[in-house]
Amino acid sequence: MDYLNYLRKDKMPHIWCDGCGNGIILKAILRTVHKLGWDKNKIALVSGIGCSGRTPGYVDFNTLHTTHGRALSFSTGIKLANPDMHVIVVSGDGDATAIGGNHFIHAARRNIDLNLIVFNNYIYGMTGGQASPTTPTCKFASTAPYGNPDSPFDISELAKAAGANYVARSTTYHTARMDRYMEQAFQKKGFSVVEVLTMCPTSYGRANKETGTTGADMLQYQKENSISIKKAADMSEEDLKDKFVTGVYVDKDEPSYLEKYQDVRDKANK
Amino acid sequence: MSDKNTTRLMQGNVAIAHGAVAGGCRFFAGYPITPSSEVAETLSETLPEVGGTFIQMEDEIASMGAVVGASIAGKKAMTATSGPGFSLKQENLGMAVMAEVPSVIIDVQRGGPSTGLPTKGSQGDVMQARWGTHGDHPIIAVAPNSVEECYYMTVRAFNLAEKYRTPVVVLTDEIIAHLTEKITIRPDSELEIAERIKPENSPDDYLPYKMTDSGIPPMANFGEGYRYHITGLVHDETGFPTNDSDEATRQLMRLNTKFDKHLDDILDYEEFNTDDMDVLIIAYGAPARSAKRAMQVCREQGEKAGFIRLKTIWPFATQKIKELSRQVDTIVIPEMNLGQIAGEVERLTPDATSIIKVNHVNGEAIKPKEIVNAIMNKD
């Protein structure tokens, strides 16, 4: 495939830093769209604010860059107004689970037919490296100079508990896995979440040098510290500290919101 | 819908819900809040009957976001709330202003600030409707004063939103919202319904924020083949963000002046006895009912009172108010706030003009007698 068929070439170069993992995720999204043969006119790519938020600007779909944390709200409106559209939502860890946390859990509870890709780099990159809801305890950030006192969210477990039909987690190192998860997610009715652990050498790596300070080092670190969800099931919490657990967390076919709302319309017109 | 006029007894909030559907609304997203609940409750029943969608969102912020999203995808969309919810909606209302997305927000005003007086009427959100979201921006707000007007003004709110690519706020209040009175509903076929201006050129040439003579750029819906970009960042004609100061000036000045050529259509008011008046009453919403009665009582007592009822609150009827204020020495302004519109009027009138404010912030309706007393005791 030719990625340029899906990109707005005149909007390059992008704003992402050297070594950022966001481009790896974007390429996986484009590969998946290509493989599924979706019509570009029928795809909406929606984002909130932050580094992930700039993704739609580079892509030749119907693109919407919304307010901080609210991408799922706008997307809910788009999907319900035009169910023929494929609505892909990209969101960072802060965007999706701090300021947008309420929308995230309710989109999952509602099982609304949206495909969410979370770019989880454990930090607020755009604003200069502040601690986010996924910054691990004791890791450093520009607002956690003594080590982060907070406990992090596990985004995939959160999505699972809240009711999403499909939840999977990959790292940017595991591209084949990421492609497989996205392909499954994009074909799923109801709410799907693919959480991708990505790297931010500029902010996170600089503050936490043991995870790598360049994109390549951080990919290597991902490779060496990833554990499959199956293996992780038999490991202690202590052994899993600082590990990246990847795999499919949920794959079910509960009725989606669109299906349930069609029931409402049918009852209203009886 | 019947092809003849139908007369019914109806509550203000219910009339807004029915007016919305008649005006083409096919999407509602909201969050429960007193005293607006009947709007959502009614639409949860009627929208699925017409193939539309009602969704109760997780909060007020999400409701406004969903409305903007639905409108971008081509549906006429609305939300309803009251003061505390209106505060929360300002963020995505600003996005609708910036991205120029047609949308309707019903604000059933209750006493404030904060949780305030949830079950009592107010007009405390007049300035929030004007300046609630950050940054210089244009906005349209209208205020009904009867149940029938709740119906038709909601139809009109959708028309204005579509024609001028803007959010429109219907500033109603708890008194009108929970008033039940007679309403005559005309057949839908007799209603004037406006649709957004669609692009005529090919997707390759489409500029979603084109500098047009009218000031209003044509709008393509998502899914129609135009594949354009929408952002809350300052953007150029193409819709993509720009940091260029000259381009920012051009686009923000277009945005902020885009109603200027259309004020004849947007501004709406009605005048009574302003030809020979010695004193002018300016009112809107629930107090306008008492103001009209007060004018009649004053006339019976030999005081030549005139009255203008503002139906469009924002943009403000600046020229009209300037003209009328030149005819009188005294202007009486009853409001269920501490003088939010009186402040606007003061800016437009000479220092010598006496402005008498009749204000309530305790949730109680302003009675005709209070306005009459203010006029009779003015000297």
- Mean pLDDT, chain B, rounded, equals 97
Confidence tier at B3 by pLDDT (50, 70, 90): confident
Question: What is the reported pLDDT for B336?
Answer: 98
Residue B379 scores a pLDDT above 90: no
Shortest alpha-carbon distance between residue B28 and chain A (Å): 9
**For residues A200 and A134, is the Cβ–Cβ distance under 8 A?**
no
| Proportion of chain B above pLDDT 90, given as a percent | 98
**pTM higher than 0.80 for the full model?**
yes
Question: What is the reported pLDDT for B378?
Answer: 83
One fold for B6-190 and B270-376 = yes
Q: Return averaged pLDDT per consecutive 10 residues of chain A, 270 residues in all.
A: 96 96 98 98 98 97 98 98 98 98 98 98 97 98 98 98 98 98 98 98 97 97 97 94 96 98 96
CA distance A15 to A24: 14
* B185-226 pLDDT, tens digit each: 999 999 999 999 999 999 999 999 999 999 999 999 999 999
Shortest alpha-carbon distance between residue B219 and chain A (Å): 13
* B220-268 pLDDT, tens digit each: 999 999 999 999 999 999 999 999 999 999 999 999 999 999 999 999 9
CA distance B138 to B316: 11
Please tell me whether the interface predicted TM-score (ipTM) of this complex is above 0.85: yes
Query: Domain B6-190, what fold?
Result: Rossmann fold (3.40.50)
**For residues B286 and B365, is the Cβ–Cβ distance under 8 A?**
yes
| Domain boundary assignment for chain B | 6-190, 270-376
* B72-109 pLDDT, tens digit each: 999 999 999 999 999 999 999 999 999 999 999 999 99
Kindly list the structural domains of chain A, giving each domain's residue range(s) and its CATH number in brackets, ordered by start: 3-268 (3.40.50.970)
Q: Does B223 touch chain A (CB under 8 A)?
A: yes
Chain A interface with B: residues with Cβ < 8 Å: 11, 40-42, 44, 46, 56-57, 60-67, 70, 72-82, 84-85, 102-103, 105-106, 261, 264-265, 267-269
Shortest alpha-carbon distance between residue A163 and chain B (Å): 15
Question: What is the reported pLDDT for A182?
Answer: 98
Query: Domain B270-376, what fold?
Result: Rossmann fold (3.40.50)
Q: Where are the alpha helices (DSSP H) in chain B?
A: 12-22, 37-46, 60-72, 83-99, 126-131, 147-164, 174-177, 245-256, 263-266, 286-300, 318-325, 340-348, 368-376
Residues of A in contact with B42 (CB under 8 A): none
Between A41, A63, A269, which is nearest B223 by CB? A41
Residue located via tokens 């692009």: B199
Token pair for residue B74?
Answer: 């081509």
Confidence tier at B1 by pLDDT (50, 70, 90): low
Give B4's DSSP letter. S
Question: What is the reported pLDDT for B2?
Answer: 67
Between A82, A105, A267, which is nearest B74 by CB? A82
Residue B314 scores a pLDDT above 70: yes
Q: Does B72 touch chain A (CB under 8 A)?
A: yes
* B108-166 pLDDT, tens digit each: 999 999 999 999 999 999 999 999 999 999 999 999 999 999 999 999 999 999 999 99
Question: Residue B376: left (phi > 0), alpha (psi -120 to 50), or beta?
Answer: alpha
